Structure 1
Amino acid sequence: MPERMLCLGEGLIDIVTGPTSSSERVGGSLLNVAVGIARLGRPASLCAHWAIDPRGRMLGEWARLAGVDLIPGTESAPRTPVAYARIDDEGRASYEFDLAWAVPQPPDLAGFGHLHTGSLAVTLEPGGSTVQALTSRMRGHGTVSYDPNIRPAVMRKPAAVLERVERLVRMSDVVKASDEDLRWLYPGTPVADVLRRWLATGPSMLVLTRGPAGADALLAGNRDMLHLDPIRVTVADTVGAGDSFMAGLLTGLCDAGLLGSPRARERLAAADWPDVQPALHRAVISAALTVGHSGAYPPTMAEVEAIRATDPLLRD
């Protein structure tokens, strides 16, 4: 079974405004994850939708320099999507968007062992329905991961997207969400209750990121929840941190033989904490390296290994 990973969803330009400055940077959740996967040493492809204009050329160059293969049709949009990211005094980002999303040329899934999707690509039409159909097809011969990556500025209200989010959760082997995602989707419901409910619908692994409080993980084969402490760094901003976490997690699970084929799905469903802890550590380190830089900085495997070497507790 092929080990190449396909990221399906948006690439865009982040116009980042902070307390004292403004800049344009490449971004978009699925582009960030694809570049993160490639920088961590795994082959990655991206199916996105932007234009051949100055901003689109920035996105294409960034992806290709990282070694990401662009699916035909990615550079066929009428305009390149833009996200307006505003950074507060603590480095946290909030977003507004100017974008359209479609999948003009659905990729042939036969060449991929794993599909990752999420964020706007799942909920924004006309592309969202195509993403659902491709995700369903992928389950026949490979594994699937999903990150809701909630964007209230586009998704508007929970009732508008909840059914689709839950459907993608059911179709996925690995799901990562933030505590902010779950509080928005299920106001008033404890996030631990949401995670247990989601786990019962089909995923083998759930990870909840909690910003500076670290992350929690659940496995279908273990009744306990594992807490992951964060790595303390000076925060430049949080742009792309969740995407780097996802890239670290996916490449780590793939390296462990827990993603990429139906057999890998079976192994993940039976996995226990020693099987997945190296991947979780890689995810935490990757996110920490990202927040130490401005923008969606994707760390390399060499950078991750350098951090692991400084802490014996991260080596297992």
Structure 2
Amino acid sequence: MSTDTTAPRVLVVGETLVDIVHTPDGSVAEHVGGSPANVAMGIARLGHDTVLATTLGDDDHGTRCRAQITDHGVAIENLDAGGHGTSTAVATLDDSGAAEYDFDLHWELRPVEDLDRFGHVHTGSIAATLLPGAEVITQTLTDAREHATVSYDPNVRPTIMGSVDEVRVRIEELITVSDVVKASEDDVEWLYAGRSLPEVMAAWGRLGPGLVVITRGGDGVTYRVSSTGDVAEAPARVDRVADTVGAGDSFMAGLVSGLLDAGLLGDGDARARLRAADLDAVAPAVDRALGTSAVTVGRSGAYAPTREEI
């Protein structure tokens, strides 16, 4: 954990759940997960003061989640307003390590208090689209923008998020209040079937973010800065793949960490710097993100690496 008391404090708002992973050989393992929780643990492991606002039940799964998240250096604020059990996701892996999910989710939450504690706010995935909690997410991001930067990862789950037309409207609404958007190539294909990555990235950039990044699995990443409209690519750095669970979340954590260190996230002035940044300015953060995700896919589950490991 960073000891720099002047560094921006990071708030992550979103779901925590237990991934129950079924592998092709028939074995079953449980891992603490949920995209926002993974991102929070990843950011904290990279040395940033991080708080996760989430919902956890008073059950064995909740106890396990609390222990692992706090062990990673993350402070938890439980916003549970419904008294539900801890959410779960059954992940079935194929022979390539790719996962398909079946969710049991509950997402009711109270508003986050004292948002002025934070210089950066991240959200994404199910929490940002699943009612009624998604309404609290919207208000949180809107209120936080007065003093903090915002990052967002749509991380779409087509089987539970609703119709593509409804989800697209919701995602674009959140993009308008975000400074950084990271999505996968699969996300874009589902949301905008038939449209090219550069076309979608330009459209998202016009909505407000200073940086849009699209991950393309083993083919690396494509990213675009809004200041110039310039686009660049970077290759993946993966040596071996155990599974892909948490890879996108690890990338997101590395990206936020790198941009914070570069002074391109963390307050209103950082937002202005990001809006003016060129490709060279954001490239080191993209490289850190590629490094963190490379370490993660080499391990089973959503492993969060430290700076020393990348």
Shift of 1:176: 0.1
Output the amino acid matched with 1:164: R
Output the amino acid matched with 2:288: R
Q: Which residue among 221, 227, 249 is the counterpart of 1:221?
A: 227
Contact 1:72-1:105 at 8 Å conserved across structures: no
Q: In the TM superposition, what are the counterparts of 1:65-214 in structure 2 within 5 Å?
A: 65-73=71-79, 77-214=83-220
RMSD: 1.4
Q: Which residue among 242, 254, 259 is the counterpart of 2:260?
A: 254
Output the amino acid matched with 1:30: P
Cα deviations by residue, 1:95-136 (Å, 9 ceiling, x for unpaired): 110011122242321100010001011110110011001111
Partner of 2:8: 3
Task: Give the secondary-structure state (helix, strand or coil) at the position aligned to 1:223.
Answer: coil
Output the amino acid matched with 1:115: V
Q: Which residue among 265, 270, 273 is the counterpart of 2:276?
A: 270
Output the amino acid matched with 1:36: G
Shift of 1:162: 1.3
Task: Give the secondary-structure state (helix, strand or coil) at the position aligned to 1:198.
Answer: helix
Deviates most, 251-260 or 273-282: 273-282
The normalised TM-score by structure 1 is: 0.93
Distance 2:81 2:290 in 1: 32
Task: Give the secondary-structure state (helix, strand or coil) at the position aligned to 2:138.
Answer: helix
Distance 1:231 1:73 in 2: 37
Contact 1:46-1:69 at 8 Å conserved across structures: yes
Shift of 1:72: 4.2
Contact 1:244-1:287 at 8 Å conserved across structures: yes
Output the amino acid matched with 1:53: D
Distance 1:247 1:284 in 2: 10
Shift of 1:190: 1.8
Distance 1:211 1:204 in 2: 23
Equivalent pairs, count: 304
Contact 1:2-1:112 at 8 Å conserved across structures: no
Distance 1:174 1:93 in 2: 26
Q: Which residue among 236, 244, 252 is the counterpart of 2:250?
A: 244
Partner of 1:16: 21
Partner of 2:306: 300
Partner of 2:290: 284
Distance 2:109 2:153 in 1: 18
Q: Which residue among 36, 43, 62 is the counterpart of 2:49?
A: 43
Task: Give the secondary-structure state (helix, strand or coil) at the position aligned to 1:187.
Answer: coil
Shift of 1:241: 0.3
Distance 2:187 2:61 in 1: 29
Q: Which runs of 5+ in 1 are unaligned?
A: 305-316
Q: Which runs of 5+ in 2 are unaligned?
A: 1-5
